[in-house]
Structure 1
Amino acid sequence: MTPVTYYVYRGGMPSPCQLPDSLAVVVAGTAGSGKSTLGRAIAERLRAPLVDLDSVTTPLLDALPSDALGGHWLTSPHALAIRAGRYAALRATAADALSTAGRVVVVAPFTAELAGGAEWEALRTALAPTEPHVVHVDGDPSVLASRRFSRGATRDAHRPDTPSVDPKIDVLSVDAELSTAQQLARVLPALGCRRPVDTDADIFTREFDAVLFDLDGTLVDSTASVVRSWRRFAEHFDVSMEALHANHGEPARTLVSLLLPAERHAEALAHVTDLEVTDAAGLHPIRGAAEFFASVPPQRRAIVTSGSVPIATARLAAAGYDRPAVFVTVDDVVNGKPNPEPFLLAAERLGVDPARCLVVEDAPAGIAAARAAGCAVLALTGTTAEEELTADLVVDGLDAVRVEVTGSGALRLAPTVVSLYR
């Protein structure tokens, strides 16, 4: 398949996308998952036509008298036939958009399609010869139910409870707990829209003795897990989520001290630790992180996290990482990030000068700590807005760069040519 360069716009600046000459993106998810919002955002970034099941069929169905259907169209005795007709209209509209524009983003629950079988084959046939990229948005059922209740759509009152689907086809899973920007940061690179690497950055001319890795959002894609755990914490203790979002990357004890009186700190820390350890199951590495981490000699790498030992250990194990010899957690320091103490301690334990350390981070608090320690900083998008990442280099995945060992034994960072169409 021939790659074609398109440009998407982030903050007014164009970024190249190596897209195939024909591209279909299918965004699936149950009601309340945020699939329509994400689908629209993808379509805007790709400048592709958006075909949404609700936009194509719901106005017509809502205009029909319910007595003609034997009830609301979602619960009508003819519901199966109505579904078949809705999806037939969706497929035909999507096929027209794809054949004329070369790209299309299609949004619907796609419950039956995710299970494979005849419905999935009908969708594939409609979009042929392009093989669709399927993005599946899913999340905590209680959150999705709350969103449906909050939006107050009439059809939701008639919608039967539909459990989340375990896809039987290949999908890119996206957590509904993430913001749209965070979801885009995971979807766009998979479609070929990569953040350009500044190959002239000074960081590529430097030599290092060690690499110090943050954990959450850097090695492990735990952002949704963190948000979910702290949301449940906020609901349990009846506190605002705003302070949590504003202080991402700082230790839990700092967040707890901002939100609750001193006499409740121990209880709160124990509660959030239990939430985060329990939610760690099923976490995965960040794009390219496992390979990048493995490429650094074991004696020259460390993990420096704001998490506690139980939380950090659970997330490392879930994502398949071996615990490094130098493993600095919040339990090892008096002052956590954004104070430089965690990175200074890691450098000391490795026996290296902090000024010859490369720090890999994703959060402003961690970047501030690394800079204060005198380290160079490589930042990853996906958690925080790019304009807040004041690092020596910003990338959208650790597969965009690599570590090389020079003839003298020093470590150097080098850009990687990423090709999605091999």
Structure 2
Amino acid sequence: MVFRNPTEERQGFGCIFDMDGVLIDSYRAHFESWRMIAAEEGLPITEPQFARTFGRTSREIIAALWGEKTCDEAKIADLDRRKEAAFRDLIREDFPIMPGARELLDELRAHGFLLAIGSSGPPENVALTLERLGRQSLFSAVVTGMDVTRGKPDPQVFLLAAERLGLAPERCVVIEDAPAGIQAAHAAGAKAVGLASTGRTHQDLAAADLVVDHLHELSPALLRTLISPRLHG
């Protein structure tokens, strides 16, 4: 994939997609992979605990759930590696594509939107998702957890995605399923759409500029109006 990093910003609009909970309905696969690793290690995890941390990096989740029991960096790295490998095995077996994802991607590109991924996930997870989506060629930029040093709600991931698209963040909309992601999008200067996917409610995403239940509710015209109402109102 070729990343664009021009010296001058383009005109037009961009859409930056979070991956987990937006392009794939990965809540159950993530919870199951955490449950498997926790059982192997004799560590506690409940679904409410997981739900509170969903959308953060694996290392952040390990620190939040088991910080006192996993102080060793080598152990944290081992848990992280095993958990993400288990997750990929699960979604290879049953790929949980979000309804309407392919259709929305196709429609946005057909109407001139530049597309990016802005995910906290490891590059292996993002690569597998893009492969299974079959839409790699539609994305002009991909940012993963390996590309950033600060996780959401810090805006770094979305600022970098906009930069790689060659667009000002103000000309971008972010589609997210997590409150931290909504906060990160706004901190970057972008508009934010909250997708109330598995484990999320409209109340959780109330800070977004628009909250929807399904990707089918979104269109290029709606997102253009959200980004620049004065041009499209």
The answer to whether structure 1 residue 316 and structure 2 residue 130 are counterparts is yes
1:26-67 deviations in Å (ceiling 9; x for gaps): xxxxxxxxxxxxxxxxxxxxxxxxxxxxxxxxxxxxxxxxxx
**Aligned counterparts of 2:152 and 2:118: Cα–Cα separation in 1:** 10
Q: 2:62 aligns with which of 252, 256, 272?
A: 256
In the TM superposition, residue 412 of structure 1 has moved relative to its aligned partner by 4.1
Runs of 4+ in 1 over 4 A off after TM superposition: none
Equivalence for 1:227 = 31
Cα pair 2:16 2:116 within 8 Å, conserved: yes
- Map 1:199-238 to 2 at 5 A: 209-238=13-42
The answer to whether structure 1 residue 401 and structure 2 residue 218 are counterparts is yes
**Aligned counterparts of 1:369 and 1:413: Cα–Cα separation in 2:** 17
Equivalence for 1:21 = none
In the TM superposition, residue 257 of structure 1 has moved relative to its aligned partner by 2.8
**Aligned counterparts of 2:39 and 2:134: Cα–Cα separation in 1:** 31
- Map 1:34-49 to 2 at 5 A: none
Instruction: Tell me the TM-score normalized by structure 1.
Output: 0.45
Instruction: Tell me the TM-score normalized by structure 2.
Output: 0.79
Q: 1:363 aligns with which of 161, 175, 178?
A: 178
Equivalence for 1:335 = 150
The answer to whether structure 1 residue 302 and structure 2 residue 116 are counterparts is yes
Q: Secondary structure at the match of 2:20?
A: coil
**Aligned counterparts of 1:413 and 1:290: Cα–Cα separation in 2:** 21
In structure 2, runs of 5+ residues without a counterpart are 1-10, 228-233
The answer to whether structure 1 residue 387 and structure 2 residue 198 are counterparts is no
Cα pair 2:22 2:197 within 8 Å, conserved: no
Equivalence for 1:288 = 100
1:298-322 deviations in Å (ceiling 9; x for gaps): 7711011111011121223234332
Bigger relative CO (Cα 8 Å, ≥ 6 apart): 2
In the TM superposition, residue 290 of structure 1 has moved relative to its aligned partner by 1.2
- For the aligned residue pairs, the C-alpha RMSD in angstroms reads 2.4
Bigger mean CA deviation after superposition, 373-382 or 288-297 = 288-297
Q: Secondary structure at the match of 1:325?
A: strand
Q: Which amino acid aligns with 1:327?
A: V
**Aligned counterparts of 2:79 and 2:26: Cα–Cα separation in 1:** 20
Query: Relative to total residues, which structure has the larger strand share, 1 or 2?
Result: 1
Q: Secondary structure at the match of 1:230?
A: helix
Bigger mean CA deviation after superposition, 312-321 or 277-286 = 312-321
**Aligned counterparts of 1:208 and 1:365: Cα–Cα separation in 2:** 26
Cα pair 1:333 1:341 within 8 Å, conserved: yes
**Aligned counterparts of 1:301 and 1:348: Cα–Cα separation in 2:** 12
Q: Provide closer, same or farther for how the CA distance between residues 245 and 220 of structure 1 changes in structure 2, counting only shifts above 3 A.
A: same
Q: Which amino acid aligns with 1:355?
A: E
**Aligned counterparts of 1:234 and 1:245: Cα–Cα separation in 2:** 15
Q: Which amino acid aligns with 2:56?
A: E
Cα pair 1:220 1:319 within 8 Å, conserved: no
Q: Which amino acid aligns with 1:269?
A: D
Cα pair 1:251 1:337 within 8 Å, conserved: no
Cα pair 1:292 1:402 within 8 Å, conserved: yes
Q: Tell me the number of residue pairs that the alignment of Structure 1 and Structure 2 aligns.
A: 204
In structure 1, runs of 5+ residues without a counterpart are 1-206, 415-422
In the TM superposition, residue 240 of structure 1 has moved relative to its aligned partner by 2.9
Equivalence for 1:101 = none
Q: Secondary structure at the match of 1:318?
A: helix
